[in-house]
Amino acid sequence: MESHPVESTTPVYTLSTTCMLSGIPVHSIRQYIDKGLIIPFRKESNRNLFSQTDVLRLKYVHRLLNDDGLNIAGIRSVLALIPCWSIRKCSEAERTKCQAYNSSTFPCWEASEKGTLCKNTNCRECEVYRIVENYPDVKSFLKTIIH
Ligand code: SF4
Please enumerate in sequence order all residues whose Cβ is within 8 A of that of 82, keeping only pairs 6 or more positions apart, or say none. Answer: 107, 108, 128, 131, 138, 141
Q: Which domains does the chain have, with CATH numbers?
A: 9-69 (1.10.1660.10), 71-147 (no CATH)
What is d(CA 65, CA 75) in angstroms, rounded to the nearest whole number?
8
CB atoms < 10 A from the CB of 141, how many? 19
End-to-end CA gap in the chain: 50
**Nearest CA owner, ligand 1 atom 3:** 123
Q: Summarize pLDDT for 22-38 with one digit per residue, the tens.
A: 999 999 999 999 999 99
| Whether 131 contacts 88, CB under 8 Å | no
Distances (CA, A) of 40 to 4, 37, 88: 23, 10, 22
Instruction: Report whether residue 109 contacts ligand 1, using a CB cutoff of 6 Å.
Output: yes
Instruction: Report whether residue 98 contacts ligand 1, using a CB cutoff of 6 Å.
Output: no
Residue-level pLDDT at 127? 92
Q: What pTM was computed for the model?
A: 0.89
Residue-level pLDDT at 29? 97
Q: Summarize pLDDT for 2-59 with one digit per residue, the tens.
A: 666 678 889 999 999 999 999 999 999 999 999 999 999 998 888 999 999 999 999 9
Candidate from 76, 102, 121 with most ligand 1 atoms within 8 A of CB, to mutate = 121
